[in-house]
Copies of this chain bind each other. A is one copy, B any other.
Amino acid sequence: MSEFVKTAQSAKRKETRSEERAREADHPSSLVAAFGADKPLHLDCGVDLAPFQIAYQTYGQLNADQSNAILICHALTGDQHVANIHPVTGKPGWWQTLVGPGKPVDTERYFVICSNAVGGCMGSTGPSSTNPATGKPWGLDFPVITIPDMVRAQAMLLDHLGIHKLFAVVGGSMGGMQVLQWAAAYPERVFSALAVACSTRHSAQNIAFHELGRQAVMADPDWRGGRYFDEGTHPRRGLGVARMAAHITYLSDAALHRKFGRRLQDRAVPTFSFDADFEVESYLRHQGSSFVERFDANSYLYLTRAMDYFDVAADHNGVLAEAYRGSTTRFCLVSFTSDWLFPTSESRDVVHALNATSARVSFAEIATDKGHDAFLLEEPEFFAISRAFLESGAHAHGLTSVVR
């Protein structure tokens, strides 16, 4: 019998964690910036979202002239808990390798902000938040959001915090898309931009993988047309399948081979059954079942959709360089050789466009077999490049000493 079926059977036992997650949607274990009816978020789809809230974490201290703020943008299934224990999973922050005291994004030097993306499920307004008009979760009544919408909400958060200009915006994958959108939409507010393992537009193959994930969620009868909150269900199996598919794309063939090869799971000979005979099967089932405990299925639909729609050049007659014309932002792009979700060629396209506008840009392709996931893992060369890029920027920006 499949482990997903087992997971479904043990759903009751894990209810506590799901309840915790549901509570985070409206009452997050984070700081919250609430925007009332007078401060709507203007969405690309034409809707004005109001009221809404942004949940965020900060690390370090803002200096007197507010020149040391770094905004971290999270990836598809990340959140604001970049460098602290996660309130639902109890696990370390998702980028604690990069962000913290003495780390490349040094919280003893910089004031670091990370907010949950609008459309997310960890306290910023999204489909699992309560719709004030109905008193129930938004579900699919929530308007479709875009990467520019996420960035617009972050800009409102910065206004709320009284920070006009960011020393740096940093992010990988969907977070990197936000970095590139920040630099296009608010060039005067971004001193430097570090965009990792990303692109200015989603490829057809990436749209295809996202659509596969959405169809897996929607195919689950427990999705209930997005109204699972009302009915006390959650499309665990569909969301688990979506996560399995996504997880394969985050790793490289070489990484899967190195980690698992064709090794059997706790057995010497195959069982000739549909049990998880191979270690890689067991691993994927675990990735699927653990994900559904911490993530909302509708948020998964909305955030994947936002990535699919992303296309910076489209707003500039298809000419990417136009989006960055005259920019004084210092750019650094980083890609990984074995990343087939956002291959190096896509970072190079961005670099070429920036070169065409005479923007200041550096670029590094890092040799690794870890695939797209490399940006979240122990990659010394990536850390060294990030540190050097921020340090040279800090020098140019007049941030010469440690804050405290």
Contact = CB atoms under 8 A, between A and B. Distances in A.
B211 A256 contact: no
Interface string A286-330: 001000000000000100010011010000000000000000000
A375 B99 CA distance: 48
Nearest to A252: B205
Contact of A256 (B46, B208, B285): B208
A209 interface: yes
A155 B22 CA distance: 59
A20 interface: no
A311 B262 contact: yes
Nearest to A222: B221
A301 B272 contact: no
Contact of A212 (B46, B248, B259): B248
A309 B278 CA distance: 9
A5 interface: yes
A241 B256 contact: no
Interface string A247-283: 0100101001101111000000010111011101100
Given A262-B311, A281-B211, A204 B305 contact: no
Contacts of A256: 203-205, 208
Nearest to A271: B144
A251 to B, nearest CB: 8
Contacts of A237: 219
Nearest to A206: B253
Interface in A180-216: 201-205, 207-209, 211-212, 214-216
Contacts of A244: 208, 211-212, 215
Interface residues of A, number: 62
Given A44-B272, A144-B272, A202-B262, A5 B218 contact: yes
Contacts of A209: 248
Given A203-B253, A272-B44, A219 B4 contact: yes
Contacts of A203: 253, 256-257
A220 interface: yes
Contact of A278 (B207, B225, B343): B207
B208 A274 contact: no
Contacts of A211: 244, 276, 278, 280-281, 284-285
Closest 6 CB pairs of A and B: A219-B237, A45-B272, A204-B256, A144-B272, A211-B281, A205-B253
Interface of A: 1-2, 4-5, 44-46, 140, 143-144, 201-205, 207-209, 211-212, 214-216, 218-221, 225, 237-238, 240-241, 244-245, 248, 251, 253, 256-257, 259-262, 270, 272-274, 276-278, 280-281, 284-285, 288, 301, 305, 308-309, 311, 340, 343
27 contacts: A2-B218, A4-B215, A4-B219, A144-B273, A201-B262, A204-B253, A204-B261, A204-B280, A205-B253, A207-B262, A208-B284, A211-B284, A211-B285, A212-B245, A212-B248, A214-B274, A215-B244, A215-B284, A219-B220, A219-B237, A221-B221, A245-B245, A253-B343, A262-B311, A270-B309, A274-B301, A278-B308
